[in-house]
């Protein structure tokens, strides 16, 4: 689970992963099988989980991390905000 504590939305394509001390892009992490290719969020109106490409302000989402690829070691996830 990852959250957006900022007052602006975060683009899912700016997701960065750090595994075993090495930072890799979302695209490379998906290609390597480290993470799933989709962010998931819960829609409170429809009461269903749905795929998303944008993390909305003050909300959270889920992404799958494959423990066999990460070797059971921690994987840090972060987003890059526009403008720093």
Query: Which pLDDT tens digit goes with each residue over 16-27?
Result: 888 888 888 888
pLDDT one-digit tens code per residue, 27-58: 888 999 999 888 999 988 999 999 998 888 88
Pinpoint the alpha helices (H) of 1-84: 26-31, 67-70
Instruction: Check: pTM over 0.75? Answer yes or no.
Output: no
Domain coordinates of the chain in residue numbers? 2-78
């Amino acid at each position: 689970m990852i959250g957006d504590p900022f007052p602006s939305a975060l683009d899912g394509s700016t997701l960065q992963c750090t595994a075993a001390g090495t930072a890799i892009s979302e695209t490379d992490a998906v290609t390597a099988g480290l993470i799933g290719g989709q962010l998931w969020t819960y829609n409170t109106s429809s009461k269903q989980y749905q795929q998303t490409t944008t993390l909305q302000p003050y909300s959270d989402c889920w992404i799958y991390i494959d423990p066999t690829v990460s070797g059971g070691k921690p994987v840090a996830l972060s987003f890059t905000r526009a403008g720093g």
